[in-house]
Structure 1
Amino acid sequence: MTSMLVQVEEKSFSVEKTLLVENSEYFRALFESGMKESRQDEIKIQGLTNEGFCLMLSILRGERPVLSCDEIIFAVECAAFLQVKSLTKYLINSVNSENCLVMFEAAATYGLLDLFHTAALLIRDIYSKLENDLDCLPEDLISYIESLVPSTLVAVGAHSPKPEFLEDCSRTVCYLDQQQNKWKTLTKLPDEASTSLAGITVLDNKVYIVGGVCGVNKQAVEQSFCYDVSSNTWSKFPSPQQLRYDLALTSKEGYLYAIGGEYERTLLASVEKYEVSSKVWSFGSHLPQPAACTACTQTMGRIFICLWQPLDTTEIYEYETNKDKWLLIATLKRSQSYGHCLVSHRDNLYIIRNGPADDFLRCMIDRFNLTTLQLTTLSGQYVNSKGALFNAVVRGDTVLTVNKMLTLMYSIEENRWKPRKECTGFPRGGTVHTFLLRIPKKVLHSEADLIYFEKHL
C-alpha cells in the first residue's frame, strides 16, 4: 500500500494514497489528472489548515472526535476544500443545539449545502431557545431558517385493517398543535393498513409502515404503506421477503431496516433492508438472537438496539450498516427489570425500563455514553402513566412522551430529565406510535382534514 507525504502549512502527514483517493474528490481528480503532482511522493496543499487536515484523517480512520467550535470551522473548511463526503457526513451527524449556529455559519461560508440545511432545520426546531443568539446572523440566513417548517409531534394508535362493512373513524394519524393544545387529524390510514404490531419509521419526511397484524389470530399483513406528507398522499410498497410483525423498523441514508419480529408466533432473528430507490428488499446479518418488540434508536448516524437475555440482562448492540455487522457495546444488569424503550440524545443512549420488581407505574432510566462507554442511572424515578415513557421521541433537547391522559415534555439535563411542559393527551387508548414530521402549512390547513377532525374527534 503506497504512502505519501502531504504538507499542509508547516506540518507534513504520511498518508496512504488509496485513503485519499477513495474519500476525496480533490485527490481523486489530482491523481487521475496526469499532472506532475500525481507522480510525486510529496505534495503541498495551499489554503488549508493543518488542524482541519488532521481532523479529516482521524475521521477517515474511524475515530469519532468531539469537535470544539474552532475544530468545526477547520473541519468544514477541509471538507469543502478537499470535497470529502465522509467528513461532511460526520459533521452532519454531529450537529446539536450547542454547535448548530457554528455549523450553520461555517457551512454557509464554505458552501456545504447538506450541512447548511441540516443545521438550519435544528435551529428551526429550537428557534425560541436560540432566538437571542440569532442577531449575529445575516438577514438572509435568518430568513432561510424562518422559511423552514419545524418538526411536529405525530402519533397513531394501534389499528388493524378495517373490514369493508365497518366504519372506523378512529383510524387516523394525528399531530399535536401545541399553540391550541389540541391533537388534530393529519390523515386517515388506508383501509388495508395495520399499525397493530407494525414497524413505523420516518425517512426523508415520509412515514413508512411495515408489517403488523390483522385478526385475533395475528395474521401478518402482506402489504407495506408510505405516507408522503408533502403531497398528503399514501402509496404501497413491497413487504419484506420474510413477513413479520412486532418488528423494529428504522431508516438511514435511503434504506429501511426491518429488524427481527415474529411470524406465526415464532421469534425471528432475520434482518432485511429496503432500498427505497430500487424498491428491493435484501437480507442482512442476523441478530445475535431471535427477538421481537426490539427497542431501537439512532444517534450520530449510528443504529442501536437492546436485546434482553436471561438473568435480568440487557445487551446494547450497534448495527454497523457499512459492514453489515452487529457489535455488542454494553451490558446492563438490573434485578427484576427489563427495558421497554431506547432513545438517544447526542452521544448518549437512554434505556427506559420498568421500576423495581413489578412496579410498572414508575420507570428507571439508564444512560450509556458512547464517548466514554460509561453506564450511569439517572437520578430519581419517572412516573410512567400507562406507558407514556415507552414511546418517547427526542426533538432538540426535549423528550416528548404521550399517552391518553397527557403529553409530557422533559428537558434533558446532565443527570436527569426535568419535566418542562404538559399538553393534552392523545385521544386514543392502547398502544401509541409517536414520531416527528415536518408538516407543510398547506397540509396543516387542509380544509378536508379540518372538517374530518371536527366531525370525528
Structure 2
Amino acid sequence: MEGTRQSRICRPHKISESSKVYRWDDHSSLVLQSLNEQRHRGLFCDIVLVVDEQRVPAHRNLLAVCSDYFNSMFTIGMREAHQKEVELFGASYIGLKAVVDFLYGSELSLDGGNIDYVLETAHLLQIWKVVDFCCEYLENEVSEENYLYLQELASIYNLKRLDSYIDSFILQNFGTLSFTPDFLQNISLQKLCQYLDSSNVQQECEHDLLQAALQWLTQYPERENEAYQVLDNIHFPLIPKSDLLHRVKPAVCSLLPKEANCEGFIEEAVNYHNNVTAQPVLQNKRTALRTSEERLLFVGGEVSERCLELSDDTCFLDIRKGQWVAETPLPARRSHHCVAVLGGFIFIAGGSFSRDNGGDAASNLLYRYDPRCNQWIKTDPTQALEQENGYEGHDN
C-alpha cells in the first residue's frame, strides 16, 4: 500500500501569489432554470400551495426570498411553516399560477383575461415586482371607457403609481370627461376638488370648470351640502365681471340653496374687479392663473447702442422652441425702467421715454400688466420720482 502511493509534486515557485476573481455570469439564471425543472418534475418541492382546489408545488426558500408574505409565514412561527400543504384565501388559481411561473421563469404574461387575478394574487402575496408590472400594463390600457374602474382598482390595492397616472389622464381630458354621466355620477368629492384645484386641468375658460362643478353638484340632492367645498376651487375672479353678474350669479342662485353660502365667492370676485388698484393685495388662490409655468421676460429697453429707438416689446423665452416670443407691447416705449413681478402681475415703474437720460425724459408713470386680460393698466404716478426730478415743490 505504501509503495503504490504517488508522491506529491512540490509546488513550483513560479506560480504567482496574486488573486483573481472569476464570475459565472449566468449562474443565477441556470440555478433558477434548474429549480423550475425540479418543480415541474416534482423534485425537492417542500410545499404545495392550494387555491380553488388546485395545487401548485414550490420550494419554500424561493417563495420566502421573493415574497414578504411567505417570508413572514415561514419565519414568525405560523403553523403553515410546518405544513406540507398551505391553502391560500383571497387568491385565484389563474393568478397564483402566473405569479409562481414568474418567480421561477422571470417572465410574466398579462392580458385582459388574467390581469385582475394576477394583480389580486400578487398584492396578497406582496410580490411587488409583479404589482409594478400590472400597473405598467394597466397604464397602457387607460381609456375613457375604463378609467373609473381602474381608478377604483388603484384605490382598493393602494396603487399610488396607477392612481397618479389616471389623475393625469383625467386632468388632460377633463373638458370631455367631466360632462359624461359616468364622471358626474361616480367621481368622488375628494377627486373632483383635486381636479378643480389643479393648475393643469384642461379647460377653455373658468366657465367650463364652474359648469362641470355645478352639474356634479346637481346630480344628487345630498351633494348640495358639498357645494361650498367644491366651489371653493373655482377661480371666480378669472371670470369677467359682466359674466359674474349676469350669468354666474343667476345660475348659482337658481341651482344651489342660499344655505350653501356660495354667493360669497361671487361677491368676492366682483369686489376684486371693482378695486383694480387694490388687486395685488387681494390676491388669493382663486385669483391665481391656472398655470404652473414660469417664464423669463425681457421688457422694453434700447434696441441697440447706436440706435436712438427704444423698444415697447414684452417678450418671453419659449424654452421648447429656444426663441423669444412677443407677449404684448408696452403702453409706451421705455428704457432704464424698473420691472417687478408681484402676485402674478408685471409692474413697470419710471424710466425714460428717450435715450436722453436727463430730467426732461424721465417718467414717473407706473403701469401694471394683467395677463388674465392681456391689458396694461395705468396706476398712480410714483410720487418719489416726481420729487427726485423736481416735478413737485420746485419753483422753476
Which band: TM-score by shorter chain? 0.3 to 0.5
Query: RCO greater where, 1 or 2, for CA within 8 Å and sep 6 or more?
Result: 1
Instruction: Point out the structure with max Rg over C-alpha.
Output: 2
TM-score, normalised via structure 1 length? 0.32
Q: Which has the higher strand share?
A: 1
TM-score, normalised via structure 2 length? 0.37
